[in-house]
Chains A and B, each alone.
Chain A
């Protein structure tokens, strides 16, 4: 297993956000983590990113416990406009993380331009983030993550702030760019999205969040917004996830 989450629990000032979370993710897998708002999804993601240390349990990446931000990891945040640096051009934003890796300038530039082409933003290299629409800005932050070539890509409600059409386009973009052995964790509260994008869906309960279901998504690898969503498997699975999310209480608390 590439990523092992063992009995992770965390609380903020008396509020227990996560409790006894156990999850395993294989290399190359795309795991959707879905749950009602406030169930600690983002907290879990931040524990994996090494931004916070869980109060209980541990997160193990490739056999080593995560204490600090692991190398080979990228995060796409929901707030693209706050995550991108407004004083840097789109190209420089994408190239900046590679500087930390000590890549020479020409290589950084080439990688940035290639990543921007992948997300369909070839023409926008020299523009500034604030000159772009929300959907385009989120494409830039996805390009920034891709250019970095992370082994593990974490996405925290990445499409929560864009309109429905853009959301579908970006979901397809994720399906298109996955591969190359990149493992992806996508946190979302959107039930359809979790099924449409994921290989597996982990459902978290209401706070304190814990894993109440871990479902395999048996849909063809090649998916599209119309036909995949009308497949009986899709309809069935989204209903099941929906019931779990709405019912949301852990088994011990359910009457």
Chain B
């Protein structure tokens, strides 16, 4: 009965994993050779095994874990506020065209400013604590959520909306029962983009503000210390791992929740 099965046309999941793994192994080997052979000085680029060993040992380091937790907390709070604000505002702008046109000018002015460029300004106003960090995360992460919500609403099928209207559902009920679920896969993509951006802003703010707590602070401080390169790199590995984990979890969640969407689009989006 399942008429369209997109999975059959793609390489198998294990095959994909193996290819990804091969890329990582090659990168690791390359860095190992460059380091061990002395082509690159060890203080600039320690061998991959040293970096990974240090990254693993950091998992038992209380000081590092406090920093890691601090970043995760700021990231989660910022992302939650961005989603909690971005989705309703997007729903409002997406369903009231007049509002959308009115706000567009402001949005088009604000959006091209790279969020990272705002770090000094916001630090100046709010000081350099978690408030600054969360504020910047919210600002940067809200955009993809907002735009994907509006975009998702434009993609809602008018026939589905009319059908519900003919069954007597009012405007709000149609938004709740048709527009929002229909836009949900787009919103989820926005949230996934926002999660990555939020991590950039979290670590970036921590690095630039130079004190407080966080992965970024850990990396920035390691940079100042003697023989700190491997700590800098180990911290970077953790940041990457965190980003990867978040992405994998969200992608899997989307697959599970929006099976109907993939079935309809043939897995294109």
Scan residues 138-165 of chain A and give those whose CB is less than 8 A from a CB of chain B: 148, 154
- Collect the chain A residues with CB atoms within 8 Å of residue B4's CB: 130
Interface: A176 (CB within 8 A): no
When the two chains form their complex, are residues B3 and A148 in contact, meaning their CB atoms are under 8 A apart? no
Q: In the complex, identify which listed stretch (A80-88, A184-192, A193-201, A219-227) lies at the interface while the others stay far away.
A: A80-88
Interface: A234 (CB within 8 A): no
- Collect the chain A residues with CB atoms within 8 Å of residue B167's CB: 74, 96-97, 100, 148
Contact of B166 among A75, A127, A130 (CB under 8 A): A75
Interface: B49 (CB within 8 A): no
When the two chains form their complex, are residues B160 and A82 in contact, meaning their CB atoms are under 8 A apart? yes
Contacts A82-B159, A131-B1 known; A69 to B165 CB distance under 8 Å?
A: yes
Interface residues of A, CB < 8 Å — how many?
28
When the two chains form their complex, are residues B160 and A85 in contact, meaning their CB atoms are under 8 A apart? yes
How many angstroms between the C-alpha atoms of A242 and B98 in the bound complex? 47
How many angstroms between the C-alpha atoms of A139 and B181 in the bound complex? 23
Contacts A79-B159, A127-B1, A132-B1 known; A87 to B181 CB distance under 8 Å?
A: yes
How many angstroms between the C-alpha atoms of A113 and B264 in the bound complex? 25
How many angstroms between the C-alpha atoms of A74 and B157 in the bound complex? 18
Scan residues 152-197 of chain B and give those whose CB is less than 8 A from a CB of chain A: 157, 159-160, 162-169, 173, 177-178, 181-182, 184
How many angstroms between the C-alpha atoms of A50 and B3 in the bound complex? 36
When the two chains form their complex, are residues A71 and B168 in contact, meaning their CB atoms are under 8 A apart? yes
Q: Smallest Cβ distance from A3 to chain B, in angstroms? A: 15
When the two chains form their complex, are residues A86 and B264 in contact, meaning their CB atoms are under 8 A apart? yes
When the two chains form their complex, are residues A130 and B160 in contact, meaning their CB atoms are under 8 A apart? no
When the two chains form their complex, are residues B166 and A87 in contact, meaning their CB atoms are under 8 A apart? no
Interface: B263 (CB within 8 A): yes
Q: Smallest Cβ distance from B36 to chain A, in angstroms? A: 54
Interface: A73 (CB within 8 A): yes
When the two chains form their complex, are residues A82 and B157 in contact, meaning their CB atoms are under 8 A apart? yes
Interface centre among B162, B163, B168, B261 (most CB of A within 10 A): B163
Proximity string of chain A (127-138) to chain B, C-beta cutoff 8 Å, 1 when within and 0 when not: 110111100000
Interface residues of B, CB < 8 Å — how many?
26
Q: Chain B residue with minimal CB distance to A154?
A: B166
- Collect the chain A residues with CB atoms within 8 Å of residue B169's CB: 100
Q: Smallest Cβ distance from A183 to chain B, in angstroms? A: 15
How many angstroms between the C-alpha atoms of A116 and B226 in the bound complex? 74
Q: Chain B residue with minimal CB distance to A101?
A: B168
When the two chains form their complex, are residues B3 and A51 in contact, meaning their CB atoms are under 8 A apart? no
When the two chains form their complex, are residues A100 and B162 in contact, meaning their CB atoms are under 8 A apart? no
Proximity string of chain A (96-111) to chain B, C-beta cutoff 8 Å, 1 when within and 0 when not: 1100110000000000
When the two chains form their complex, are residues A100 and B173 in contact, meaning their CB atoms are under 8 A apart? yes
Contacts A79-B159, A83-B160 known; A74 to B260 CB distance under 8 Å?
A: no
Contacts A83-B160, A100-B173 known; A69 to B166 CB distance under 8 Å?
A: yes
- Collect the chain A residues with CB atoms within 8 Å of residue B181's CB: 85, 87
Contact of A69 among B159, B168, B173 (CB under 8 A): B168
Q: Chain A residue with minimal CB distance to B263?
A: A130
Contacts A85-B178, A100-B173 known; A77 to B159 CB distance under 8 Å?
A: yes
Interface: A49 (CB within 8 A): yes
Q: Chain A residue with minimal CB distance to B159?
A: A82
When the two chains form their complex, are residues B260 and A87 in contact, meaning their CB atoms are under 8 A apart? yes
Q: Smallest Cβ distance from B62 to chain A, in angstroms? A: 46
Interface centre among A71, A83, A127, A154 (most CB of B within 10 A): A83
Interface centre among B3, B166, B177 (most CB of A within 10 A): B166
Interface: B225 (CB within 8 A): no
Contacts A79-B159, A127-B1 known; A73 to B166 CB distance under 8 Å?
A: yes
When the two chains form their complex, are residues B3 and A83 in contact, meaning their CB atoms are under 8 A apart? no
- Collect the chain B residues with CB atoms within 8 Å of residue A131's CB: 1-3, 263
- Collect the chain A residues with CB atoms within 8 Å of residue B3's CB: 130-131, 133
Q: Chain A residue with minimal CB distance to B158?
A: A82
How many angstroms between the C-alpha atoms of A148 and B182 in the bound complex? 23
A residues apposed to B, CB below 8 Å: 49-51, 69, 71, 73-75, 77, 79, 82-87, 96-97, 100-101, 127-128, 130-133, 148, 154
Give 15 A-B pairs besides A86-B264, A131-B1 with Cβ atoms closer than 8 angstroms: A69-B166, A75-B163, A75-B166, A77-B159, A79-B159, A83-B163, A84-B160, A86-B261, A86-B263, A87-B258, A87-B260, A97-B167, A100-B168, A128-B260, A148-B167
Of the A-B pairs whose beta carbons lie under 8 Å apart in the complex, a sample of 16, sorted by A's number, is: A50-B166, A69-B168, A71-B168, A82-B160, A83-B159, A85-B177, A85-B182, A86-B263, A87-B181, A87-B182, A96-B167, A101-B168, A127-B1, A128-B263, A133-B3, A148-B167
Task: Give the 3 A-B CB pairs with smallest separation, nearest first.
Answer: A97-B167, A82-B159, A86-B260
